Structure 1
């Protein structure tokens, strides 16, 4: 019985590692900005950022708790490369929080999230349409902070030109114009299953059955 419990605990640990976040500094807290710091130009630890990318703290209208978020304006892009074992049977899940403000009718804020090659070739993109009904003409029309989750299949990435186990890039691109701002926070990228982990799970499962049968005899 004790061996069975140990094996199950090991199996649980493997499954937890398969759900580990592949992103560094996904909550943007690593640079230790004070809660009164807004409109700070990068660099952002772990991330590559270009023009029109800033860092804000709690005043950005995200939930009213101490937090740091990336401000995306004027078609801004922020991205990070990552590596992991993956193949056609894998599924990547990208989770994040986002909200925005805009002050002109006809503005359509949103954030494109894509998985790309390590050098930037886009394999697949999906849109987080953060815009809601516009009612104001001033700097006051905020969306609520929203949670977004998008899946990207390994098979689709390979069909688009990637190879299994390639280094990948998660890329966030703001579709804003000069009349809106979006905020991005709490980015997570996970993959299930990792090929190596799947093999170990199968092996551990077989071991558990063997131990259980042996002790039942």
Structure 2
């Protein structure tokens, strides 16, 4: 009994051909799709086409040499990004809590200032009534002393108003100053890291050129 004849075999065909490939099914197509290797065309390829396999193999060899380094760097980048996002979340939670406390303090201060303003307004009205009363009476020495006292009360009222306004303005200014200081601190840390480690990395990065050529091709 004779051996099975290769599928698609033609005894009159010319050139080099494989008797295995016709029985390989989808594997032949996968070799081309996944690895860029067309086994059926190999015998008909020119020297220049065959040389492209050598170029790809050289680039792949160079890539394999740095894969452990890349894996370490990529792991650091991924883990660092996760830790950074978790850090950001923790900071935002603190910002929320701190902001609520500051907002409450600002509201309390505003309510206190409104209550004090009402108190000063009452004093001012009393002082105004006293002045009107003095204007309708005889200007005795005692009346003049009382008038000076009421004028002093009004001056104190104005001073307290200005002081309360200044305090209300200092609270948001202090908050902005803290934010500016924090921004400057972060910029300083970033600059220190940049000057310490640089951006070019360690020597030997010429290997990247082969990787670039491989992926670019």
Q: Check whether TM > 0.5.
A: no
TM-score of Structure 1 vs Structure 2, range by shorter chain: under 0.3
User: Which of structures 1 and 2 has the bigger CA Rg?
Assistant: 2
- TM-score norm. by structure 1 comes to 0.21
TM-score, normalised via structure 2 length: 0.21
Which of 1 and 2 has higher RCO (CA within 8 Å, sep 6+)?
Answer: 1
